[in-house]
A = this chain, B = another copy of it.
Amino acid sequence: MVDLVVYGSVAFDSIKTPFGSTEKTLGGSGTYASIAASFFSKPGVVSAVGSDFPGKEMDFFKEKGVDLKGLDLKQGFKEKGVDLKGLDLKQGKTFHWKGEYGFDINVAKTLDVQFNVLKDFKPELPEEYKEAKFLLLGNNDPEMQLEILKQMKTRPKLVIADTMNYYIENKKDKVLEVVKEADICLMNDGEARQLFGTPNLMKASKEILKLNSDLAIIKKGEHGAILSTASGSFVAPAYPLENVVDPTGCGDCFAGAMMGFLAKEGNVNEALMRKAIIFGSTVASFNAEGLGTERLRTLEMKEIEKRFEEFKDIVKF
């Protein structure tokens, strides 16, 4: 039984940063978020991959305790199977993102996106996922996020949705519906400014709170995150990292670790949310230290706990 459902892409990434490059390595928001969550609880990931997806990566998910019943392999299998006729062969391939980071390593330049099997992917939640208490809707088409939420049999205790600028530009109404339906809608500073038409993040946070949310979280990348409630704010620093190798997936690790911690606690309140944000920042900071998922593969819980404690000294005055 999973205690956290993560809806997000499982993908191949080709990444170039000033410190290294890698071709067709494991990536995707669902990957980063579920692996980050797996340090704390039992997540299941909902996505689709093609027949080109390697078994050793399946094993990596399983080793980390990520449930794969929600990982749709059909389209890949179709490609190998009998009813191949009429099928677009390209559809049998795993989603592929190609991107590059320059001098300012915080800004990704997307060079190519091939949606492949995710193009018309209509996820169907496995029965046991429909009663999970925690749901993370990774950044994706807001209509699909709402669809997943509709498939849940019981309203989860906590629904967090991520968003991205593409959908704010093209489906703003639906994004606002997600902000309303989810308990927390994660966005970065640029997205918050864009969605609410204000450069001031505290004003944007107030707008989020008005939309039926008790909590608003705005991610600021290397500058940390701000949690706002009706009663005040929590300003979380990012871990001061000297060696940022590759920021790909850091936002997803932040969301995944945060949700993983809360799912482990089985409860949600402001005090736990503050801790969850620091655990999110912690796992995200480790992730940035390696190319792709490299650092997550060797990461141990005791390292996470040590850095979490360091955060206390970092903000003390």
Contact = CB atoms under 8 A, between A and B. Distances in A.
B202 A234 contact: no
Given A199-B105, A200-B244, A202-B242, A317 B274 contact: yes
Contact of A237 (B202, B232, B235, B244): B235
- Please give the count of copies of this chain that the complex contains: 2
Interface string A297-317: 000000000000011111111
A104 interface: yes
7 contacts: A105-B200, A200-B242, A200-B243, A201-B240, A224-B235, A232-B314, A233-B240
B223 A314 contact: no
A203 B317 CA distance: 23
Nearest to A198: B103
A9 B289 CA distance: 43
A275 B317 CA distance: 6
Interface in A132-147: none
Interface string A223-240: 110101000111111101
A97 B105 CA distance: 35
A313 B317 CA distance: 11
B235 A314 contact: yes
A206 B241 CA distance: 12
Interface in A247-284: 271, 274-275, 277-278
A180 interface: no
B105 A232 contact: no
Contacts of A243: 200
Interface in A207-227: 220, 222-224, 226
A233 B314 contact: yes
Contact of A226 (B228, B240, B274): B240
